[in-house]
Amino acid sequence: GAIIFSGIQPTGVPHLGNYLGALLRWVQLQDATAADKSTQLFYSVVDLHALTSVQATNSASNGAVLRQRRRETLAAMLAIGLDPDRCVLFYQSAVPAHSELMWLLSCTASVGYLSRMTQWKSKLQLKDDASFSDEKARAGLKLGLFSYPVLMAADVLVHRATHVPVGEDQSQHLEFAREVASGFNHVHGQPLLVPPTTLLSPARRIMSLQQPTQKMSKSHADERSRILLTDDDKTVRSKIMAALTDSTNAVTYDLKTRPGVSNLLELLALVEGDNLYRAVTSSNASIEVAAQALATEMEGKTLGVLKKRVAEAVIGRLAGVRDRFADVLELDGGAYLDRVADHGAKQARNNTAETMDAVRTAIGL
Ligand code: TYM
């Protein structure tokens, strides 16, 4: 059977980019495989990954902050419809095999490959062609950020994932995971690890509402740049009405010259009813086609009309999520979430045993 694995960092309440790029797909995969018990679904709150960015310096409340964010992320996953009876939902750090396999993979993974990864280079704040030799730039960088993709490879490989649903920004990491798997298999002369297939969301890259040439992100300073799954209707409306577009007051689709308007059209195409999203997902028709069709349909309309339609569509799509989120967080005085996480961790730990036994035997541990 298929094994589906994906992860999300607990860096705050998930945003619309996380939702359309990944979480909605997770729910769809759950629903689509409801009758097929041979498909297993693992969705992890990757708290170890979040350590590369979330922790403040000289702050005694780091522990409390991360614990709260993990809970909020798990609550959001339940609020959008993931079912703990169907999916294994767990905190990454509760399953030590992730870190153990990471070390084992580190001993065959290539530093050269890692240093060419886009995300690392952007954190280095060097130009794409610059080398890893600027002493000053390196001094403040943490080893964990550099080896981040190795932990991510361990996440999927330890569970023998066959399919990994993610947004476009993660596809390079998954290419690396495949490379690590084949490299490891090669060294040990046997097919121990399964190179996973990337399931790229049709949403690919949802852009920031304030800087439409950058992806919507949890770390962006301007809160109006993203819609959180828990934003109330008024907040959603005001963020979308304030979205940065351009001075042409007409609806046309052109990613290069009109990134702001085009992002709104893509959002609308993805959000307006499940059916379109499903159609885009299953027919492989690209989001461009759907967004272009909407632009044609809205020809002659103003940007204000487009924004209102996007806002109402997003509000409709997120209806109920905010209330369920609040309920789930409070359920049983918070104990419900702990139970879900503990149950998931047990199942996840069980699932890692097979991989770890084989890997340790092959290595000689
Ligand atoms: P993270 O936490 O940044 O994001 C979670 C998921 O949301 C997608 N995403 C987006 N999709 C479209 N547009 C956007 N603006 C946008 N922003 C985020 C991401 O592609 C991702 O699918 N390294 C991963 C977490 C991870 C993981 C894994 C994923 C750790 N181990 C193993 C898959 C498999 C990350 O930082 O995602």
Residue nearest to atom 31 of ligand 1 (CA): 152
Ligand 1 centroid from CA 305, angstroms: 31
Instruction: Quickly list H helices, the chain.
Output: 16-18, 24-32, 47-50, 62-79, 97-106, 111-115, 118-124, 135-139, 143-146, 148-158, 171-188, 233-241, 259-271, 273-283, 287-297, 303-318, 321-330, 335-363
Confidence at residue 133, expressed as pLDDT on a 0 to 100 scale? 60
Confidence at residue 343, expressed as pLDDT on a 0 to 100 scale? 98
User: Ligand 1 pocket: which residues have CB below 6 Å?
Assistant: 5-9, 17-18, 21-22, 46, 49, 152, 155-156, 164, 166-167, 169-170, 173, 203, 205-206, 215-216
The average confidence (pLDDT) of the chain is 92
Confidence at residue 276, expressed as pLDDT on a 0 to 100 scale? 55
Cβ contact 157:181 at 8 Å? yes
What is the rounded distance in angstroms from the CA atom of residue 133 to the CA atom of residue 354? 41
Whether the pLDDT of residue 131 is over 90: the answer is no
Pocket mutation for ligand 1, best pick of 5, 9, 18, 164 (most atoms within 8 Å of C-beta): 18
Question: What's the complex ipTM?
Answer: 0.99
Which range (134-143, 255-264, 313-322) has the least confidence?
134-143
Confidence at residue 230, expressed as pLDDT on a 0 to 100 scale? 97
Is residue 301 among the annotated active site residues?
no
Whether the pLDDT of residue 86 is over 70: the answer is yes
Strands across the sheet with 3-8, in order?
A: 88-91, 40-45, 3-8, 163-166, 197-200
Angle at CA 316, nearest 5°, toward 314 and 317?
65
DSSP letter for 1, please: -
Confidence at residue 239, expressed as pLDDT on a 0 to 100 scale? 98
Confidence at residue 125, expressed as pLDDT on a 0 to 100 scale? 64
Confidence at residue 120, expressed as pLDDT on a 0 to 100 scale? 85
Is residue 218 among the annotated active site residues?
yes
Ligand 1 centroid from CA 6, angstroms: 8
- The gap between the terminal CA atoms of the chain, to the nearest Å, is 29
Strand partners, 43: 6, 89
State the pLDDT confidence band at 287, using cuts at 50, 70 and 90: confident
Confidence at residue 122, expressed as pLDDT on a 0 to 100 scale? 81
Which range (33-47, 156-170, 277-291) has the least confidence?
277-291
Whether the pLDDT of residue 283 is over 90: the answer is no
Which range (146-155, 157-166, 200-209, 330-339) has the least confidence?
200-209
Q: What is the model's pTM?
A: 0.94
Looking at the chain, the whole-number percentage of residues with pLDDT higher than 70 is: 93
Confidence at residue 128, expressed as pLDDT on a 0 to 100 scale? 45
Cβ contact 283:277 at 8 Å? no
**Which has the closest alpha carbon to 76: 49, 53, 43, 98?**
43
State the pLDDT confidence band at 137, using cuts at 50, 70 and 90: low
Angle at CA 11, nearest 5°, toward 197 and 235?
110
Pocket mutation for ligand 1, best pick of 5, 6, 8, 197 (most atoms within 8 Å of C-beta): 8
Residue nearest to atom 29 of ligand 1 (CA): 7
Q: At what angle do helices 259-271 and 273-283 cross, to 10 degrees?
A: 100
Ligand 1 centroid from CA 188, angstroms: 31
Confidence at residue 294, expressed as pLDDT on a 0 to 100 scale? 93
Domains of the chain: residue spans and CATH? 3-205+333-363 (3.40.50.620), 223-321 (1.10.240.10)
Confidence at residue 127, expressed as pLDDT on a 0 to 100 scale? 46
Any idea which residue has 């035997």 for tokens? 361
